[in-house]
Amino acid sequence: MDMYIPTRMIIGSGCVREHYTSFASFGKKALIVTGKQSAVKSGALQDVKDALFACGISWIVFNEVENNPTIETCYRGGALAKESGADFIVAIGGGSPMDAAKAIAAYATNDIEPMDIYKPLDNPPLKFCSVPLTAGTGSEVTPYSVLTVHEIENKLTFTHPNNFSQIAFLDPDYLKTMSRETLLDTVADALSHAVESLLSRRSTMASAVYAKAALEHLSACIPDVISGTPNYEQLLFASALAGMAISHTGTIVVHSMGYMLTYHKGVPHGRANALLLPGYIALCEKQVPERLKTVLDAFGAENAEKFRDTIKQLTAENCILTAEEAKDFAAKAILAKNVVQNPWPLTEAEEKSVFDGLVQ
């Protein structure tokens, strides 16, 4: 068994301002990696700039990260890091900017072609800190950087032992500007991480501690998320716990199937998981009822049907597939590497049955 979460997490309202001196040890020039608007709207960008200024650190902003970032965008960010002489990175955003920052950190220190990021790297990536603006991906505590690769019409994860944030600043106030749709999508993502981690064949006593705690906190938070009065601090904590769980196990097939809906149908990442989880849980009920019970018990769900009903309430919008799409997506998703970590030998027909649940 191997337990490794090297990220310091500072949690609470005003934590960037309060702990501004913690930036001082990272370097002399920061590259701030963000999306278009969220870092400004949430107030996080201003807080980070103030903290850097107070430490005598200069900065440059790369705010071109799109949802589901492409390797091309990250490569451009890496070139900017090199040109500007940035010696560390601050990621501010949802999973997209946080994941992009990890790839940018690798391109910044290695003279490689874009796809070479998936080969062993000569030099360690730049160090980075993260300021999450959503409570879903857990990217602030995972070693994963999920990137869109048009060449393969899919997403591909870049993993490196140095992909862990040095510090994650979890300030619940920054989440208040999220739309309701993004809130629901990202909570569903965290829930899917915890469920998939606990069901994975790679689950251990260690990873299960994080996954079960995440399920317990999510169960406590979800009613208020649905009623529109979310406890953002507890959600951030739950999402980070789920992130720590997948740091040990990875995700399994809900995620690899979800990438089909995101790449081909433009469905936001967390929503793709929310749409597929009920069908997947129905399979688990049939194939691995005892394992599923550990998930239901940790969440405090009476039975699988009640759990599915809760997940459906997190689905902000439906996605309709044609029968042809369901067949194609299953054929492609079954090739994903993580299929072998499913708790039973999953077949293409079973994956198709999950996609068929979205056919009308």
Site of tokens 């790679």: 202
Q: Which stretch binds Fe ion (CB under 5 A): 182-190, 198-206, 315-323, 333-341?
A: 182-190
Nearer to Fe ion, 61 or 254 (CB): 254
Within residues 249-278, the interface with Fe ion by CB under 5 A covers none
Helix (H) or strand (E) holding 157: strand 154-159
Asked if 38 touches ligand NAP (CB under 6 A), the answer is yes
Render 55-72 in DSSP notation, one character per residue: TT-EEEEE--PPSS-BHH
- CA neighbor of 357 nearest in space, from 296, 301, 315, 298: 315
Site of tokens 């009822």: 289
Q: How far is the CB of 23 from ligand NAP (least distance, A)?
A: 21
Nearer to ligand NAP, 23 or 144 (CB): 144
Kindly give the pairing relationship between strand 58-62 and strand 88-93.
Answer: unpaired
The answer to whether residues 99 and 139 touch, using CB atoms and an 8 Å cutoff, is yes
Q: Cα(210)–Cα(214) distance, rounded to whole angstroms?
A: 6
When binding is defined by CB under 6 A, the residue of 142, 162, 249, 256 that contacts ligand NAP is 142
Nearer to ligand NAP, 67 or 294 (CB): 67
Q: 180-199 and 289-299 are packed helices; what angle lies between their axes, rounded to 10 degrees?
A: 130
Q: Cα(174)–Cα(77) distance, rounded to whole angstroms?
A: 24
Nearer to Fe ion, 34 or 134 (CB): 134
Q: How far is the CB of 342 from Fe ion (least distance, A)?
A: 16
Please give the torsion angle defined by the CA atoms of residues 25, 27, 30 and 31, in that order, rounded to the nearest 10 degrees: -110
Asked if 36 touches ligand NAP (CB under 6 A), the answer is yes
When binding is defined by CB under 5 A, the residue of 189, 196, 233, 351 that contacts Fe ion is 189
How many residues touch Fe ion under the rule CB under 5 A: the total is: 1
Q: Map residue 156 onto helix, strand or coil.
A: strand
Q: Cα(46)–Cα(309) distance, rounded to whole angstroms?
A: 40
Asked if 270 touches ligand NAP (CB under 6 A), the answer is yes
Which does residue 144 touch among Fe ion, ligand NAP, none (CB within 5 to 8 A, set by kind)? Answer: ligand NAP
Within residues 171-230, the interface with ligand NAP by CB under 6 A covers 174-175, 177-178, 182, 185-186, 189
The alpha carbon dihedral of 340, 342, 343, 347 has a sign of negative
Nearer to ligand NAP, 196 or 304 (CB): 196
Which does residue 280 touch among ligand NAP, Fe ion, none (CB within 5 to 8 A, set by kind)? Answer: none
User: Which tokens go with 203?
Assistant: 């689950």
Nearer to ligand NAP, 78 or 95 (CB): 95
Interacting residue ranges for Fe ion, rule: CB under 5 A: 189
Interacting residue ranges for ligand NAP, rule: CB under 6 A: 35-38, 41-42, 67-68, 93-96, 99, 133-134, 136-139, 142, 144, 146, 155, 174-175, 177-178, 182, 185-186, 189, 269-270
